[in-house]
């Protein structure tokens, strides 16, 4: 499977203007600043398709990108950025949960991204159980592996795996070096 075309379609903030046209959706979720937007860019091979930033809280909307004219990649805002107000954090949390459960769109796959150096946090656990309840095929991706020292790589990966259920899918990744890009694309598009 090769990604040949990618275009931004729209961003939504409310909970009543969902894009639902029968095309399959692949959603990218995770805490703020873990690299969701960068990871999407790395997969499609376009540097600035999804806006990324070193300032956490960059993505505030649910953004839809059309891939190969037939699948949507959905970039969700990040949860848990301490500097945004509690009200805003709660709004983002509700938006993510709404998208995943009540919006009428059941994403075909979810890529749950964590920062390899940070590991799995409370919100990730909450998301994982929600995704399991909804029966959504999910993979946990530990991004920013290029920032992890070789000597602790193994330990970090084992620690993350310990926190996941036995049948959970997991992949170390780097949006910078494209580590495991092919394997992630394979997961996303298998049995489509």
Nearer to ligand GTP among residue 85 and residue 167 (C-beta): 85
Q: What residues contact residue 85 under an 8 Å CB cut-off, 6+ apart?
A: none
78 makes contact with ligand GTP (CB under 6 A): yes
Q: Are 62 and 99 in contact (CB under 8 A)?
A: yes
Cα separation, 16 vs 119, in Å, equals 33
Cα separation, 98 vs 126, in Å, equals 14
Which of 37, 42, 71, 138 touches Mg ion (CB under 5 A)? 37
84 makes contact with ligand GTP (CB under 6 A): no
Q: Look at the chain and count its residues.
A: 192
Cα separation, 155 vs 49, in Å, equals 33
59 makes contact with ligand GTP (CB under 6 A): yes
Contact partner, 109, from Mg ion, ligand GTP, none, Cβ < 5-8 Å per class: none
Each residue 134-163 as x (binds ligand GTP by CB under 6 A) or -, in order, gives: ---------xx-xx----------------
Q: Which residues lie near ligand GTP (CB under 6 A)?
A: 30, 32-38, 52-54, 56-59, 77-78, 143-144, 146-147, 174-176
């Amino acid at each position: 499977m090769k990604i040949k075309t990618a275009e931004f379609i729209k961003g939504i903030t409310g909970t009543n203007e969902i894009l639902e046209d029968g095309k399959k959706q692949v959603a990218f979720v995770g805490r703020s600043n873990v690299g969701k937007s960068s990871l999407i860019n790395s997969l499609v091979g376009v540097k600035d398709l999804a806006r990324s930033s070193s300032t956490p809280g960059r993505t505030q909307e649910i953004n839809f990108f059309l891939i190969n004219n037939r699948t949507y990649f959905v970039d969700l805002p990040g949860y848990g950025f301490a500097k945004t107000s509690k009200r805003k954090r709660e709004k983002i949390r509700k938006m993510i949960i709404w998208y995943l459960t009540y919006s009428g769109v059941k994403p075909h796959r979810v890529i749950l991204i964590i920062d390899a150096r940070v590991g799995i946090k409370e919100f990730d656990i909450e998301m994982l159980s929600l995704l399991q309840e909804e029966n959504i095929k999910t993979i946990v991706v530990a991004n920013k592996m290029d920032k992890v020292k070789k000597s602790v790589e193994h330990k970090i990966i084992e620690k993350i795996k310990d926190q996941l259920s036995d049948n959970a899918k997991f992949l170390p990744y780097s949006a910078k070096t494209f580590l495991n890009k092919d394997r992630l694309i394979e997961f996303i598009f298998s049995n489509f």
